[in-house]
Amino acid sequence: MDKDIKRVESIINRTYRISQFNNFVKSFEEDICADKKNNDFDKWLREYIQIMKNKCSQIEAETIYRCRILEEEDLISERNGINIENLSGYDCLNSKEPPSAAAANGRCNSKGNSYFYAAEDEYTALVEIRPVVMQFVSLAEFEIYSLLLADLTLCYLQDDRSKYYAKKLFDIFSFIKVKEESYRISQYVASLFRENGFDGIRYPSSLTAGNNIVIFNYLHKNMRFVKSRLVRLFQVEFEFADISKNKLIEKNLKTGYTEQSCSETIQLLNKMKKISVENKRS
């Protein structure tokens, strides 16, 4: 029971933080839209970016992961790099960011500007694209070199003002957004980092304990596609709290992954391939 109460209290505290944060964002956007020069967060941010440039160092090498939900036709026809026999997903071109013309509003990019979104671990990369149960996903692995990333998971100054605003900066990128216009402030912040010479940003995931990475431009000399693999989602767990009773709703889950899951999935893929080949012949 104590564990349930603590979890519910955590949900309530987070709800309060989001409410306070939304008020902060609204005030900031009103100042920026009105072209006010006295917004204190904006002043602090511009100063902080210069400090970060002096304290951040280029990463020498790092492995990151990027996912795409597999289109059924791509899977059946084994196109765009997909190979059922090798259980490989999309090739480099189709694992990268979409072309600018197809780029929708994102946490860091505005519509028509295509950025490369990835994660530092496989699980975070998979969760971020929010697949549905039994859906196939292409999990691609990239290596990045000599890139200057703004690390928002750290606070580089310890004065009270910086601690307060660094927390707001953390929230700008960590809170889940439900409307496209909610990304305006994170897009604004990302544009400042880009204008000041950063290649991208490292920021906390809103869905896992891991970190995401966004890179403003895919640079062939600084990035290398390693490989991609086929992945399938077998189960999703949600956690709901009954606020009136101050307790968690009991979970009622289907059977997820078992030892036979992958072998059965491989059999399914091979059947799909066989049917596809037969259809082409007929």
Which pLDDT tens digit goes with each residue over 242-265? 888 888 898 888 777 777 788 889
Contact between 82 and 90 (Cβ < 8 Å): yes
59: pLDDT strictly greater than 80: yes
Q: Give the pLDDT score at 223.
A: 93
Q: Give the pLDDT score at 11.
A: 63
The residue count for the chain: 282
180: pLDDT strictly greater than 60: no
Q: Is residue 232 part of a domain?
A: no
163: pLDDT strictly greater than 80: yes
Work out the pLDDT band at 29, boundaries 50, 70, 90. low
Range of the domain at 107: 2-73+91-227
Work out the pLDDT band at 3, boundaries 50, 70, 90. low
Q: Is residue 276 part of a domain?
A: no
Q: Is residue 127 part of a domain?
A: yes
Query: 177: buried, middle or exposed (CB in 10 Å: 19+, 13-18, 0-12)?
Result: middle
User: In angstroms, how far is CA 207 from the centroid of its own chain?
Assistant: 8
Q: Are strands 200-204 and 149-151 parallel, antiparallel or unpaired?
A: parallel
Q: Is residue 132 part of a domain?
A: yes
φ, ψ for residue 68, nearest 5 deg: -140, 135
179: pLDDT strictly greater than 70: no
Residue 109 in tokens: 């990019």
Q: Is residue 255 part of a domain?
A: no
Could you give the 3-state DSSP secondary structure of residue 236?
A: coil
Of residues 50 and 280, more confidence is placed in 50
Provide DSSP, 117-161.
EEESSHHHHHHHT-PPTT-EEEEEEEEE-SB-EEETTS-S--SHH
Overall domain count for the chain:
1
Q: Is residue 256 part of a domain?
A: no
Nearest Cα to 203, choosing from 282, 124, 138, 262? Answer: 124
Q: Is residue 33 part of a domain?
A: yes
Q: Is residue 259 part of a domain?
A: no
Please count the other Cβ atoms lying within 10 Å of the Cβ belonging to residue 195.
9
Handedness of CA 52, 58, 64, 67 (dihedral sign): positive
Mean pLDDT computed over 158-168 = 90
Nearest Cα to 229, choosing from 64, 91, 80, 61? Answer: 91
Please count the other Cβ atoms lying within 10 Å of the Cβ belonging to residue 267.
11
Interatomic CA distance for residues 91 and 66, integer angstroms: 12
Could you give the 3-state DSSP secondary structure of residue 232?
A: strand
Mean pLDDT computed over 116-144 = 96
Percent of the chain with pLDDT over 70: 84
146-155, 216-225, 231-240, 272-281: least confident range = 272-281
Contact between 66 and 95 (Cβ < 8 Å): yes
Work out the pLDDT band at 1, boundaries 50, 70, 90. low
Interatomic CA distance for residues 7 and 10, integer angstroms: 5
Provide DSSP, 11-68.
HHHHHHHHHHHHHHHHHHHHHHHTT-S--HHHHHHHHHHHHHHHH---BS-EEEEEEE
Give per-residue pLDDT as tens, 192-226: 999 999 999 999 998 899 999 999 987 778 999 99
Q: Give the pLDDT score at 24.
A: 72
